[in-house]
Chains A and B, each alone.
Chain A
Amino acid sequence: MLRFGDSFIFRSGSVFNSEYYTNGFADLAPNGRGGDTAANGAAFYNLGADYNQLTIGMGWTANYGQSPFTFANSAGGAAFSCSINLDTDGRWNFTANNTSVGVPSASSVRSVRQGLWYFVELNVITTPIHLPALPPIALPPVGRADQWYVQCDFIFRVNGVEWLSGRVNSGGEQSATGAGADGQNWWPPSLTQTGHLSMSEFRAVAAGAGLMNDLYVTDGEFLGDCTYTNLYPASDVSVSMTPSTGSSNFACVNTHPADNTKYVTASSPLSDTYSFDPLPAFNGDVLGTVLAMRVLKTDGGSAQIKEHYTSGMTTVDSVNKWRPGGGYTWRYKIDVLDKSPFTGLRWTQTEINALEAGPDRLS
C-alpha cells in the first residue's frame, strides 16, 4: 500500500521545502528525469507509524559516496537505522545500525556512473532479535549484557533489476543502557509494548550536485520505475469558500509553486469541489494518487479539515483529517491512495480524468 509520495514539482522547493517534511530541505532544480523538475537536498519524513517492512523508490542521479535511502526509528530512544550506500567506485552496499553498525553487505557486482539518472528502489524487512543476558562464568569472568539487534532482509533494485539482496544484522544495543533499567526505555519490545526496532522514518538524500524526484514509499510493494504527473484544479464544480480575489475559487488554489496571496477561506464549516487538469495519455497503470492541499489557520479556535473525492454522485472522505496549526505557517496536508476509493481497484485514467476533489472545513 502506498504510504507516501512526492513529485517535488508542485512546491517551490526552495521556499516551501519544510512544509511537510519533518526536517530537511529540497531545493528545486531543473533537468529532472523526462524534463521534470527535480529536487536537491535531503528530505526527512516521519511516517507516523512503525513498519516491519517498507519499500522506497525514486529517480536519483548517482552521486558517489552518498546514501540515497535511510530507514530509521528514533522513537522511544531507539537508535535503529539502515541504509543503502553508494561507494566511491559506484557500487552499492547495505548497512544496519543499532547504536553500533553491524557487518555491511558485500558490494554489488554492477556499478553506476556518476551523475547519470537511475530509478533506485529499496525493500527492507526488519526482525528484532533478542540476546538474553548471560551471567559471568568462573573463567574467564565475562558475561554478556541483555541486548537486541535487528535482522534486516533487503532487496535493492536499479531500473527494475535486482542488483543486491541478502540479510544484514545491525550491531547490538544493550537494553539496560540509558533509562532502560527502570523499564522506561521503550525501544525494545516487551510484554506490554511493541518497541521500536522497526522503521518509522525515512531520509531521501541527493546532496551536493545530486538530484532526485518521483519519490514513493509503500509498506512492501515495489512499484518499479514510475513517474508523477501533477494535475491542478481547473474549474469550480461546487464552491462555498470565499476566494481571496475574483470569483473563481479554483484559480486561487492552482498556482504552482503556491502563491500565498491567492487562497480560499472558510470561516465556518464549508466545502469546495474542483475538477482537475486532464491526465495526459500514457501506457501503463495508475499506481496511486496523492491529493495535496496547502492550508493555513489564521485565528485561534478549534478547526478541523479534511479532503474529499467525488465521482458522479458519490463522495468519499479522505483517510486523514487534520487540525492545522495557526500563525503564518502554510502546511501541505496530503492524502495518499493506491486504489480508487470508489471501486477498490486500481485507478483508471478515465476515472482520474472524471475525478473531482476539494477541501472541507469540518469545525
Chain B
Amino acid sequence: MAFVILDGFAFRNVQTDHWFYDSDSSIQQVTPFFPWSNAVQGIVFWDFGAPEEFEDVCVGLRWQNALNGQSPITLKNNLSGFTCFIGCDGMGRFNFNATLNGSPNYTDTSTLWVAANEINYLELSVQTSKVHIPYDPGPPEVPEAYKMLVEYELRVNDEVFLEGGIETPQRVLFGSGLDTNPWISHLNIGAVEINALGEAAMSDFYINTPGTFKGDSSIRTLYPAADVGTDFTPSVGTVHYALVNDHPDNTTTNNSATATGQIDEYSFDTLPSWAGGTQTINGIAGIWHLGTSDPNTGGVFGFYNSPSHFTPNFYPLSDGSFTYFFDGREYVYGSTSVKWTEGAINTITLGLKRFL
C-alpha cells in the first residue's frame, strides 16, 4: 500500500508557485479550515504520468460544498477516455458516474445528504476492471468493444453514502490490435481531478493504492528546522535549512550540489499536538522542490534518516524551472505494517544526495 500523493495545500503559494500538479490546475488560497492547514478553491488536475496507472485507488478530500452541482472528485485516464466521478446535486446528495465513451452512466443519488456550505471529509474508493466484448459476425453483427466495470464506495465523514458497481458505456474497437489501439492498455486510472469552484473549498487531499480508506484525516506540514548534513552550497549565508524552509517557497534561496556524492540533510519542526490525544498517523510524504541549472545532467535521490533509506531517483527539469518531487510512506522505512509514531516523526531527518 502506498500513498500516491498527500497535500495539505500549506507549503506552496498556490497562486504564484507553479507546482508539481499538471497544467489545467487553477487554485487560490482561502480561509483555512483548520489553523494548521490551508484551504484552496479551484481545480487541481494531476496526471500520475505513465506508467503510473492504477486499478484500485482511494481518494480523500476535505470539501466544502457550494451546492451548485459540482463533482468534487474525478478519476480518469485521458489515453482511453475513461472517466468516473462523484457528483453532488443541488440538495446535497451524491451520485457516481462512469464513462468510457459518450455520456456517463450514473447511479441513483444517495439518500444521505450534506448541508449547504458544510465542510465534510469525502473519501472515494474505486476499483476498475476492463470487460471485453468479442466480435460476433451476427446477425446482428456485434463489433469488438470494451467497457469497464467500476466498483465504488463513497464515504462522508467515515459514513458510507454510496456503494456498488456500475458499467461504463462501451467503446468500440477500430483497427486491428493493441499497437494501433493503445487506449486498450489504459483502461484504468491515470489521473485525478479535484474541484472546489465558486464558494466551495478543499484541503487535506490524499490518494493511495491499493485503495484503503484512511478516514477523516488532517495533513500537518513540517518544515526544515536545523542542519544535519551540509555538503551543498547555500545561495546566501551559511545556514542551509533556512534557505529551504520558506513557505510559500522562494526559489531564489536554495542549496546547490555542484558535484556528485554531495549530501544535504535537515531535521524538522516538531509535530504539533492535536485535540483528541494520540491519533493514528496514516503516513508521511517527503517533498523536495528541485531545479537544475546544468542542462541534461543532475540526478538526485531523497532519503529518510540516513542515506540508506532511498527514494526513487529524481531528475529535475533542465530548463532551470523548479519542480516538486514527492515520496509518500505509509509505514516506517522498510516495514509493511509498522506505522509512524509521533516520536519517529519528531526525530526524522530528510535529505538529498546528488548521484549524477
Contacts and interface: CB of A to CB of B under 8 A. Distances in A.
A299 B34 contact: yes
A76 B108 contact: yes
Interface string B17-31: 000000000000001
A186 B105 CA distance: 11
A48 B111 contact: yes
Interface string B70-98: 00000000000000000001111101000
A323 B107 CA distance: 24
Interface string A1-37: 0000000000000000011111110000000000000
Contact of A325 (B103, B112, B114): B114
B90 A23 contact: yes
B172 to A, nearest CB: 16
B33 to A, nearest CB: 3
Interface residues of A, number: 39
Given A184-B105, A323-B158, A22 B91 contact: yes
B149 to A, nearest CB: 15
A327 B111 CA distance: 24
Contacts of B106: 179, 184
Contact of A327 (B115, B119, B217): B119
B215 interface: yes
Given A22-B113, A48-B112, A323-B157, A299 B274 contact: yes
Given A46-B92, A75-B108, A184-B105, A326 B115 contact: no
A345 B39 CA distance: 49
Interface in B188-237: 204, 215-218
Nearest to A182: B105
A201 interface: yes
A75 B218 contact: no
A23 B116 contact: yes
A23 B67 contact: yes
Given A75-B93, A201-B91, A325-B120, A300 B216 contact: yes
Given A22-B67, A182-B105, A267-B275, A298 B34 contact: yes
Contact of B121 (A23, A268, A300): A300
A267 B279 CA distance: 11
Interface residues of B, number: 46
A186 B96 CA distance: 13
Given A49-B111, A186-B109, A325 B118 contact: yes
Contacts of A44: 91
B177 interface: no
B215 A302 contact: yes
B181 to A, nearest CB: 24
A47 to B, nearest CB: 9
Given A22-B115, A325-B121, A267 B62 contact: no
Interface in B301-329: none
A329 B108 contact: no
Interface string A278-312: 00000000000000000000111111100000000
Contacts of B119: 325-329
B103 A179 contact: yes
A301 B115 contact: no
B145 to A, nearest CB: 15
B65 to A, nearest CB: 10
B158 A302 contact: yes
B190 to A, nearest CB: 25
A93 interface: no
A327 B93 CA distance: 20
Contacts of B109: 75-76, 186
Contacts of B204: 300
A179 B276 contact: no
B297 interface: no
Contact of A299 (B116, B120, B159, B275): B275
A182 B147 CA distance: 14
A18 B119 CA distance: 13
A193 to B, nearest CB: 7
Nearest to B166: A184
Contacts of A218: none
A165 interface: no
B115 A19 contact: yes
Nearest to A78: B109
14 contacts: A19-B115, A22-B115, A23-B91, A24-B116, A46-B91, A49-B111, A184-B105, A268-B277, A301-B276, A304-B158, A323-B157, A325-B114, A326-B121, A328-B119
Interface of A: 18-24, 44, 46, 48-49, 74-76, 179, 182, 184, 186, 193, 200-201, 265, 267-268, 298-304, 323-329, 331
Which 8 pairs show the lowest CB-CB distances between chains A and B? A300-B218, A327-B33, A327-B119, A323-B157, A325-B120, A186-B108, A46-B91, A18-B116
Interface of B: 31, 33-34, 39, 62, 64, 67, 89-93, 95, 103, 105-109, 111-121, 156-159, 169, 204, 215-218, 274-277, 279-280
Given A19-B115, A74-B89, A302-B216, 18 more contacts: A22-B92, A22-B115, A48-B112, A48-B113, A76-B109, A179-B105, A182-B169, A186-B108, A201-B91, A299-B274, A300-B121, A301-B215, A325-B114, A326-B34, A326-B62, A327-B39, A327-B62, A331-B115
